[in-house]
């Protein structure tokens, strides 16, 4: 099922902290679709508030975060937080719909659509590899802007 998050409706994401105890990967070493969806809800929460604490909760201390195949990756909490906050996305600037399309072992794959008020519409593919504690250790995204 596709998830939809409109920044003008904060009740869509909720304010509860990411509940790592609900991620079954910790017990079995295999991610389930529901585990990836829990992680993605935490990601959207962090995207909405740009809180360094919420961003850090999502990733291992030495995580690799790539914003594109030709971009310099952000490695580690400090670089990920600086890069993320440095992008300057504000909660009222975007809406985001997504669907988890595949899960295999520690790998989750998401397809999403981001609509920015000023930058337009983007189609996204994210590959996320997870550590045994449910945090992401390798995040790679690809996005394509919709032609007008």
Q: What is the pLDDT of residues 11-27, one digit of tens each?
A: 344 434 455 545 555 55
Sign of CA dihedral 67, 2, 123, 89: negative
Given the DSSP bridges, would you call strands 136-145 and 59-66 parallel, antiparallel or unpaired?
A: parallel
pLDDT digits (tens, 9 = 90+) for 72-125: 999 999 999 999 998 878 878 899 999 999 999 999 999 999 999 989 999 999
d(CA 78, CA 74): 9
Question: 26 in helix, strand or coil?
Answer: helix
Mean pLDDT in residue range 35-49? 95
Nearest CA-CA partner of 123 in 110, 133, 114, 134: 114
pLDDT of 53 higher than 90: yes
Mean pLDDT in residue range 17-39? 70
Nearest CA-CA partner of 106 in 40, 59, 55, 36: 36
d(CA 5, CA 125): 17
Mean pLDDT in residue range 36-59? 96
The residue with greater pLDDT, 6 or 86, is 86
Residue-level pLDDT at 12: 40
Nearest CA-CA partner of 58 in 30, 38, 74, 87: 38
Residue-level pLDDT at 6: 44
Residue-level pLDDT at 148: 77
pLDDT of 5 higher than 50: no
List, edge to edge, every strand of the sheet that includes 94-104.
3-6, 94-104, 107-116, 120-130, 136-145, 59-66, 74-75
The residue with greater pLDDT, 56 or 10, is 56
pLDDT of 10 higher than 60: no
């Amino acid at each position: 099922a596709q998830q939809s998050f409109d920044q003008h409706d904060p009740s869509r994401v909720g304010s509860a902290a990411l509940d790592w105890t609900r991620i079954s990967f910790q017990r079995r070493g295999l991610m389930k679709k529901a585990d990836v969806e829990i992680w993605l809800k935490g990601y959207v929460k962090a995207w909405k508030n740009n809180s360094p604490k919420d961003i850090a909760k999502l990733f291992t201390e030495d995580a690799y975060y790539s914003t594109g195949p030709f971009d310099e990756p952000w490695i580690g909490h400090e670089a990920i937080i600086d890069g993320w906050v440095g992008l300057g996305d504000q909660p009222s600037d975007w809406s985001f719909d997504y669907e988890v399309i595949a899960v295999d072992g520690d790998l989750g794959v998401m397809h999403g659509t981001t609509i920015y008020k000023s930058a337009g519409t983007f189609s996204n593919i994210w590959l996320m590899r997870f550590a045994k504690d449910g945090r992401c250790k390798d995040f790679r995204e690809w996005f394509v802007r919709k032609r007008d």
